[in-house]
Amino acid sequence: MDRFIRCALLSSALVPSLASANLVEDSHLDLTARTLYYNNDTRGAVKNQPTGEQLGQGFILNGRSGYTDGPIGFGADMMGMLGLKLSGREGYNTATGLFPQHDDNSAPRSFASARFALKVKLSKTEARAGFQSLNLPVIKTNDGRLLPSLYRGYTLHSTDVDNLVLDAGFIDRVQGRNQSHYQPLKATGKASGFSSGLSYAGGRYTPVKQLELSYYFAQLNDFYQQNYVGVTKTLSLGPGKLKADLRYFNSRGNGNEYGGSVDNNAYGGIVSWSAWGSTFGVGYQQLTGSSGFPYLDPGQTVDGVSTDTSGGSTGLVSESPLSKFKTAHERALVLRYSAKLDALGLPGLSFNSSYVSGSHARASSTSGNQNEWVRTLGLSYQLPESVAKGVTLAWKNVTYRTNITGTRSQDQNLLVVNWKFGLL
């Protein structure tokens, strides 16, 4: 039992009247059953390597308590996860990111974990110790496979000041989306060691309606430190709304630089127009500096040994399946389109697509300008409640082509049935 669980149990024992009304009445418990079919064809890979094709069933039990009465409220959250391998080539676990990988490249029939967190609330400020699901520009969890990734640490979230959201935290472990255990942190790519933890702080300020200013700082010890500045502005234009989203990351090396020297600036922005249920977006991103863009990633290798984990995400406007467009000097053009297709007589049906093209990438000091592109198409259909409440069907097709050193072109299809229902 790790120290976070011990802290939660000890603190809970010291809290009087845990059976208070708010603690029980404000509690929620839900279960998500996710069936996922994954098919990935890695072009130009090792001869006779089979297409990565696996079918899995995931269960995610999510429990959130309310708070005890009084000026300081106490509560606890839990998450239980179970992944089952339904089909896939025996004895060969293609790196799909669905299941853990044994030394003989096989996948276990099942993997599971249970995570806990203690939370304390004063006014509109909440502190948490234990498992964390985060969605900030400098640190993000990933829910793109059978089970979500998680972090472990201490976080603080406050909305006490009007129009201001503040966040801070220290994270020391990560659980990849295909893992049942925590492991130390590292940045993307190869590394010579793990980090002792990531610290972050920052917030979002809304000085006037429809204008948001953001700043965050993060430091992954012995890898990099990163400053982020963001501006979003929304205004009415014709029958719809126009939104501008500008982002800037400044990243530099820190400490022992286990992942190599870091020197990167990422300038990006996307302008979107929404009307009649559709959203059109056009964006551009350019990286400068001698290195690629660094980010927290549980995958890749440490000291030449694979961590057999997947699930890193970034705050870049170019973020896409199969590529982040993060190579040094890379420039990316971003096109996005999404629509709700109620007009076709199928309420709940939606379509999304994107095309991101990267150029001028330099994977090393000796490589010339290299290119890559990703096209993503997706359909999602939420069944009517009269048929099955909380059920969503989704399909995603991804085509990736590249000549960047160390990468391979891929074709990917995912079919997902997601069923979420409340238990409490």
pLDDT digits (tens, 9 = 90+) for 165-219: 999 999 999 998 888 989 899 998 888 999 999 999 999 999 999 999 999 999 9
Structure tokens, 265: 């600036």
Q: Which domains, from first to last, does the chain contain?
A: 3-422 (2.40.160.10)
3-state secondary structure of 14: helix
pLDDT tens, 119-141?
Answer: 999 999 999 999 999 999 999 99
In angstroms, the CA 183 to CA 191 distance is 14
In angstroms, the CA 297 to CA 141 distance is 10
Q: Quickly state the pLDDT bin for 18 (edges 50, 70, 90).
A: very low
Amino acid code (one letter) for 409:
S
pLDDT for 189: 81
In angstroms, the CA 300 to CA 311 distance is 10
Task: List 247's β-bridge partners, or say none.
Answer: 230, 268
* Average pLDDT over every residue of 260-272: 97
* Average pLDDT over every residue of 391-413: 93
